[in-house]
Chains A and B, each alone.
Chain A
Amino acid sequence: MSSIKMGKAIQTSPVFEKKTIIGQRVTKPDAPDKASGRTVYINDMVLPRMLFGKILHCDRVHAKIISIDTSAAKALAGVHAVLTGYDIPELKFGPTRDNRTLKAGKVRCIRDEVAAVAAESEQIAAEAIGLIKVEYEDLPPVFSPTEALKQGAPVVHEDHPDNRSLSYEFSHGDVAAAEVNSDIVIEHEFEVPYVTHCCMGPGCVIADFETNGKLTMYSQTQYPYNYKMDLAPAVGIHPGDIRVIQPPVGGAFGSKLDVYPFEPICALLSKAVGRPVKLTFSREEEFINSPTRQPAEFKIRSGVNKDGTLTFRSVDCLMNNGAYTSWGPTTPVIQMRTFTGHFRVPVVEYKGLAAYTNSVYAGSFRGYGNVQATFVTASVMDMLAEAVGMDPIAFRLKNAQKPGEVTPQGSKLDDCKLRECIEIAAEKTDFLKKYKLYAQDRVNAGRIKHGIGIATSIHNAGGAKIHKSDGCGSILKLDDYARATLITGASEIGQGIDAVLSQIVMEELGIPMSDITIVNNDTALGPWDVGVHASRTTFVTGNSALRAAKAARKQILRAAARQSNVSAEQMDLREGHVVQADNGVSIIKLDKLLRQMHFAEEPELVMVSEYYEPDSELEDKNHVGNLSATWAHGAYVAEVEVDTETGEVKVVKMTAVQDVGRVINRLGIEGQMEGGISVSLGYALSEQLQIKDGKVLNPNFRDYKVPTAPETPEIELHFVESDCKASPLGCKGIAELPAIIPAPAIANAVYNAIGVRFFAPPLTPEKVARALHDQVPDNTQ
């Protein structure tokens, strides 16, 4: 042991063992403030001189605007501005540029914004809205995509006379021939509903147009850098003149992955009044105006040979585009990957089409199209297994891909863990024994029937290259006290990235979590990132932070090596010290070293910047390319009880097995998976935004039923750690699969329990009771 002389005493250098924070359970740094009510959410924020905005949404679904009278609203004391679509230039925005902020000419759905007010208080703004008189002339509406595509249907956008919005086509192999050569072919239709995100923090934005023409947006956005680009055309300024600040938000789940009209409207109000303006949705406005998950109708034909080999899969997807295009109708990009690439299907075909209607429109929502695709494919896999007389496990194992296979669309399954996931799920749940027992019990009398069901899926787990860049930048600096600040493009919307990034910095630099600050809420500071979506944040921004941390580590160790007889390679950073890697003996305290570097003759600061771009490809025009740097699978098993009289389905247990690459924050991954399962539970059993004739019938938590704690099942999680080669960190993106797979596992379990197949979630008690009633004469009659 080395020792140094200090005064009279001889002090031994401290020794530090090698410890790792990766894979441990780490509390999110923002959790204590959130739990104790200290966090200032965007909804709580007040800026000096701030006014309050409010929007008049139309009460029609398709109508000409004849006149708008704002005189009474303008005359109301406390009102500073009243805007209509006739006061501003026609500025189109949205992914296909078919939306505008305040509408003029006509309105196309119940969400349409016809006027906006900025006033001294929310009450005055609301009163002013009530004073605006709009005269409409109703036009014939169209609500169903099938109707909308018919000749002579009402036209939603005059420049799209056939009501066709986005469309997709992919094919691989000869479907007609495959069909002829298949032993069994089945065809089914599915329909998936409108569901909504239910963020605890309703829509909110504060816009501050400064006198220099620059705009600061305090926004809930989950993609701040692209947001500037998408917002600019709606406001009519240069993207470079927009600064986005992201205060803490109450959830996003994909709902903040686009610009919605209220945001540029708020900016235009701020411009009109020269003051900051805040606009907040009530819960009812939130239910009506925030984007939904994309509803769709599917027609699927699949073939199988008697030995259980899948032969082909052909899918037609018809989407209700609603009145405008947000990200909902673009979700086929991800959905298609599951239809064409989940299990080894030699011949595949996918067609997707979105039709404009006078209904509300969909955006992105955790799972991005794969929720719908997985409900369909996982149900059909069970039907095919039954058709060939195989059990659901053997049938899936027979068709599961092996590592190294490439799907028809070019998804490279280098470290495919599908088989492991299925095998572990079956073993941990004693699947086959229960499955057979429950199926036999169906014919017996008894009010409660038990069922078990499995579902699997695949999802992009190394980002998704839907923009030219899918990368993220990181700037890392250390101060004289060995406190680190990571300035990152990663957005924190509650998913826990701050904890993960802190762990990565801690692991490399050996400083405690409490000495690490993450700065990630201001586009003026942070380097580029593509936002929180596609399960990409830990994978992309984590690997970016890892590069920065490694670069800083290298600089530190190089400096330490200069003044010691130990080489940089033989050193490590542990608990605030530079140590000898082999025995952990401290060479120098890190803060002391940093000060020495700073105050040296040739001074240097530890201050690095790195950029990480995952190794993925943009799709070509035929939808081929390895869209994600890596892919992950999961297998989930649901165990249910069905009350055959009331139709109530109770999920007793959910066992989730997922390829996660490598666990970074164990607590975080558990939270993500449990939360995702809850979202999917709602999709399976209770959630549906009921829309009739274009109007939302249940815009409240009383009648829009999100699962609550009592109906949350016991959850058992198993992580398959593949140590992903495509990821320097070894991790994969994990956050969407838990929201994707459980619903069809539940539907399959219900089938196992009662022998009824459901083609349209949610499986409400009424739907289940009705199906059972229609199947057998009601024994209560």
Chain B
Amino acid sequence: MINIENYHRPSSISEAVQLLQQGEATIVAGGTDLTPQIEAGARQFESTLINIQRVEEMRGISVTSGRYRIGGLTTVTDILESTTLAADIPVLVEAADHFASPQIRNAATLAGNLCNASPAGDMCIPLLLLDAQVELVSWIDESVSTRRLALCDFFIGPGKTVLQKNELLTAVEFKQPVAGFSASFQKSGPRPALEISTVAMGFAGVLEAGVLRGVRIAIGAVAPTPLRATATELVLEGRSLNESAIAQAVEAVQEEVKPIDDVRASAWYRTHLSGVYIRRALALFQGVTAHAA
């Protein structure tokens, strides 16, 4: 049942967080997660609905002295079409390209994807590779208060984050990756279009004097949250890319993922795919770095 008593359309972050501070509010951005959840009865509106679409300062992609900032209201289409990102951080664009359909991408926001905290949220994956931070804003003691937090500490379970009820996710930030950084994104599903990931995998690293450095592996839909596969990263860190390193990485990643059986796939298949994808990611990485060298 829809029991919304108040509807607000703030036009600034300050206005939005003041409204949030009053409590019992639901934030809606693109609504592409919220609406189906409400429709399915999986979730209920609070008495106040806050539509944040008019908070212009939460939109857009910018770079200031090597630090990238993507506003929370930036849509997946904005990311897909960003020439800055295409040039500098193509892995974000790749993830956006695998995301839903044009209609959904036009509405879906980055903040919505992160705050919805689905283990299968696609945009989380490249951002985890980039060691991104989230910016959380609230209204405390009559003023705007901001905290920053590593994205990997943001998720705590399926649909659960450390976001407080009075907080708004305003932006995501990350540093310019180091020279030689190469990253990939893979996503599976029986249907190339409009697919919720069975497994999504991001891989990033740098090849330094023939050995792997700064290895980052992020995997979607194999654990209660988007997963940073740190144990597998360690297996690869400092190694040269030979068959034994690859075989160990496959073994490690299949050990590290903790998937479940659900209507989309079995735990076995997700584990299997994680192995396939890490192997492919490493082959891709090898190809790209060999080409660059």
Taking a contact as CB atoms under 8 Å apart, the answer to whether B269 and A130 are in contact is: no
Shortest beta-carbon distance, B107 to chain A, in Å? 16
Interfacial chain B residues near A765, Cβ < 8 Å: 188-190, 198, 269
Taking a contact as CB atoms under 8 Å apart, the answer to whether A123 and B193 are in contact is: no
Taking a contact as CB atoms under 8 Å apart, the answer to whether A685 and B250 are in contact is: no
Taking a contact as CB atoms under 8 Å apart, the answer to whether B272 and A780 are in contact is: yes
Taking a contact as CB atoms under 8 Å apart, the answer to whether B263 and A778 are in contact is: no
Taking a contact as CB atoms under 8 Å apart, the answer to whether B190 and A284 are in contact is: no
Residue B194, interface by CB 8 Å: yes
Interfacial chain B residues near A690, Cβ < 8 Å: 263
A123-B1, A127-B1 given; A711·B191 CB < 8 A: yes
Taking a contact as CB atoms under 8 Å apart, the answer to whether B276 and A645 are in contact is: yes
A123-B1, A123-B2, A766-B265 given; A710·B193 CB < 8 A: yes
Residue B279, interface by CB 8 Å: yes
- Which candidate, A491-499, A696-704, A741-749, is the interface stretch facing chain B? A696-704
Q: Of A766, A769, A773, A780, which one neighbours B250 at CB under 8 angstroms? A: A780
A717 and B19 alpha carbons, distance in the complex (Å):
61
Chain A 119-142 near chain B by CB (<8 Å), digits 1 or 0: 000010011001000000000000
A710 and B193 alpha carbons, distance in the complex (Å):
7
Shortest beta-carbon distance, B261 to chain A, in Å? 11
Taking a contact as CB atoms under 8 Å apart, the answer to whether B188 and A703 are in contact is: no
Residue B130, interface by CB 8 Å: no
Q: Of B198, B266, B272, which one neighbours A778 at CB under 8 angstroms? A: B272
Q: Of B40, B196, B269, which one neighbours A766 at CB under 8 angstroms? A: B269
B39, B188, B263, B265 — most chain A CB neighbours (10 Å) = B263
Interfacial chain B residues near A648, Cβ < 8 Å: 188, 190
Interfacial chain A residues near B266, Cβ < 8 Å: 766
A199 and B196 alpha carbons, distance in the complex (Å):
22
Shortest beta-carbon distance, A233 to chain B, in Å? 35
B40, B190, B254, B272 — most chain A CB neighbours (10 Å) = B190
Interfacial chain B residues near A773, Cβ < 8 Å: 272
B2, B264, B266 — most chain A CB neighbours (10 Å) = B264
Interfacial chain A residues near B1, Cβ < 8 Å: 123, 126-127, 130
Residue A71, interface by CB 8 Å: no
Interfacial chain B residues near A685, Cβ < 8 Å: 190
Taking a contact as CB atoms under 8 Å apart, the answer to whether A702 and B196 are in contact is: yes
Taking a contact as CB atoms under 8 Å apart, the answer to whether A711 and B263 are in contact is: no
Taking a contact as CB atoms under 8 Å apart, the answer to whether A711 and B268 are in contact is: no
Shortest beta-carbon distance, A542 to chain B, in Å? 37
Q: Of A126, A770, A780, A781, which one neighbours B269 at CB under 8 angstroms? A: A770
Interfacial chain B residues near A707, Cβ < 8 Å: 191
Task: Kindly state the interface size class of chain A when it binds its partner.
Answer: 20 to 34
Residue A709, interface by CB 8 Å: yes
Taking a contact as CB atoms under 8 Å apart, the answer to whether B193 and A708 are in contact is: yes
Shortest beta-carbon distance, B195 to chain A, in Å? 8
Residue B275, interface by CB 8 Å: yes
Residue A646, interface by CB 8 Å: yes
A711 and B193 alpha carbons, distance in the complex (Å):
8
Chain B 260-286 near chain A by CB (<8 Å), digits 1 or 0: 000111101100110110011000000
Interfacial chain A residues near B275, Cβ < 8 Å: 778, 780-781
Residue B15, interface by CB 8 Å: no
Shortest beta-carbon distance, B222 to chain A, in Å? 14
Residue A219, interface by CB 8 Å: no
Taking a contact as CB atoms under 8 Å apart, the answer to whether A686 and B272 are in contact is: no
A750 and B166 alpha carbons, distance in the complex (Å):
54
Shortest beta-carbon distance, A598 to chain B, in Å? 55
| Chain A residue at minimum C-beta to C-beta distance from B268 | A770
A702 and B118 alpha carbons, distance in the complex (Å):
14
A697 and B262 alpha carbons, distance in the complex (Å):
9
Residue B210, interface by CB 8 Å: no
A284 and B272 alpha carbons, distance in the complex (Å):
32
A648 and B189 alpha carbons, distance in the complex (Å):
8
| Chain B residue at minimum C-beta to C-beta distance from A763 | B190
Chain A 627-647 near chain B by CB (<8 Å), digits 1 or 0: 000000000000000000110
Chain A 99-124 near chain B by CB (<8 Å), digits 1 or 0: 00000000000000000000000010
Interfacial chain B residues near A554, Cβ < 8 Å: none
A126 and B275 alpha carbons, distance in the complex (Å):
47
Residue B251, interface by CB 8 Å: yes
| Chain B residue at minimum C-beta to C-beta distance from A284 | B40
Q: Which of A679-728 contact B (CB under 8 A)?
A: 685-686, 690, 697-698, 700, 702-703, 705, 707-711
Shortest beta-carbon distance, A571 to chain B, in Å? 56
Q: Of B2, B40, B264, B269, which one neighbours A769 at CB under 8 angstroms? A: B269
A284-B40, A766-B269 given; A705·B190 CB < 8 A: yes
Taking a contact as CB atoms under 8 Å apart, the answer to whether B191 and A705 are in contact is: yes
Q: Which of A731-781 contact B (CB under 8 A)?
A: 764-766, 769-770, 773, 778, 780-781
Interfacial chain B residues near A646, Cβ < 8 Å: 188, 273, 276
Taking a contact as CB atoms under 8 Å apart, the answer to whether A697 and B263 are in contact is: yes
Interfacial chain A residues near B2, Cβ < 8 Å: 123
Interfacial chain A residues near B251, Cβ < 8 Å: 781
Q: Of B263, B269, B279, which one neighbours A703 at CB under 8 angstroms? A: B263
| Chain B residue at minimum C-beta to C-beta distance from A650 | B192
Q: Which of B106-126 contact A (CB under 8 A)?
A: none
| Chain A residue at minimum C-beta to C-beta distance from B273 | A646
A126-B1, A770-B268, A780-B279 given; A709·B193 CB < 8 A: yes
Q: Of B40, B190, B273, B276, which one neighbours A686 at CB under 8 angstroms? A: B190
A688 and B275 alpha carbons, distance in the complex (Å):
27
A781 and B275 alpha carbons, distance in the complex (Å):
8
A765 and B40 alpha carbons, distance in the complex (Å):
28
Shortest beta-carbon distance, A781 to chain B, in Å? 7
Taking a contact as CB atoms under 8 Å apart, the answer to whether A764 and B190 are in contact is: yes
Interfacial chain B residues near A711, Cβ < 8 Å: 191-193
A769-B272, A780-B250, A780-B279 given; A708·B263 CB < 8 A: no
Q: Which of B163-197 contact A (CB under 8 A)?
A: 188-194, 196
Taking a contact as CB atoms under 8 Å apart, the answer to whether A780 and B276 are in contact is: yes
Shortest beta-carbon distance, A235 to chain B, in Å? 31
Taking a contact as CB atoms under 8 Å apart, the answer to whether A686 and B191 are in contact is: yes
| Chain B residue at minimum C-beta to C-beta distance from A708 | B193
Interfacial chain B residues near A781, Cβ < 8 Å: 250-251, 254, 275
Interfacial chain A residues near B192, Cβ < 8 Å: 708, 710-711
A414 and B188 alpha carbons, distance in the complex (Å):
49
A100 and B282 alpha carbons, distance in the complex (Å):
61
Interfacial chain B residues near A127, Cβ < 8 Å: 1
B192, B269, B280 — most chain A CB neighbours (10 Å) = B269
| Chain B residue at minimum C-beta to C-beta distance from A762 | B190
Interfacial chain A residues near B190, Cβ < 8 Å: 648, 685-686, 705, 764-765
| Chain B residue at minimum C-beta to C-beta distance from A764 | B190
| Chain A residue at minimum C-beta to C-beta distance from B1 | A127
Chain B 48-87 near chain A by CB (<8 Å), digits 1 or 0: 0000000000000000000000000000000000000000
Shortest beta-carbon distance, A568 to chain B, in Å? 59
Interfacial chain A residues near B264, Cβ < 8 Å: 703
Shortest beta-carbon distance, B2 to chain A, in Å? 7
A72 and B265 alpha carbons, distance in the complex (Å):
42
Shortest beta-carbon distance, B40 to chain A, in Å? 7
Shortest beta-carbon distance, B274 to chain A, in Å? 9
Taking a contact as CB atoms under 8 Å apart, the answer to whether B191 and A708 are in contact is: yes
Interfacial chain B residues near A769, Cβ < 8 Å: 269, 272-273
Shortest beta-carbon distance, B203 to chain A, in Å? 15
Q: Which of A643-679 contact B (CB under 8 A)?
A: 645-646, 648
Sample (21) of A-B pairs whose CB atoms are under 8 Å apart: A284-B39, A646-B188, A646-B273, A685-B190, A686-B191, A700-B40, A702-B196, A705-B190, A705-B191, A708-B192, A711-B192, A711-B193, A764-B190, A765-B188, A765-B189, A765-B190, A765-B269, A766-B269, A770-B269, A773-B272, A780-B250
Known: A765-B190, A769-B273; 13 extra A-B contacts, CB below 8 A, are A123-B1, A645-B276, A646-B273, A648-B188, A700-B36, A702-B196, A703-B264, A705-B190, A710-B192, A710-B193, A766-B265, A770-B269, A773-B272
Ordered nearest first, which 4 A-B pairs have the shortest CB separation? A780-B275, A766-B269, A708-B193, A645-B276
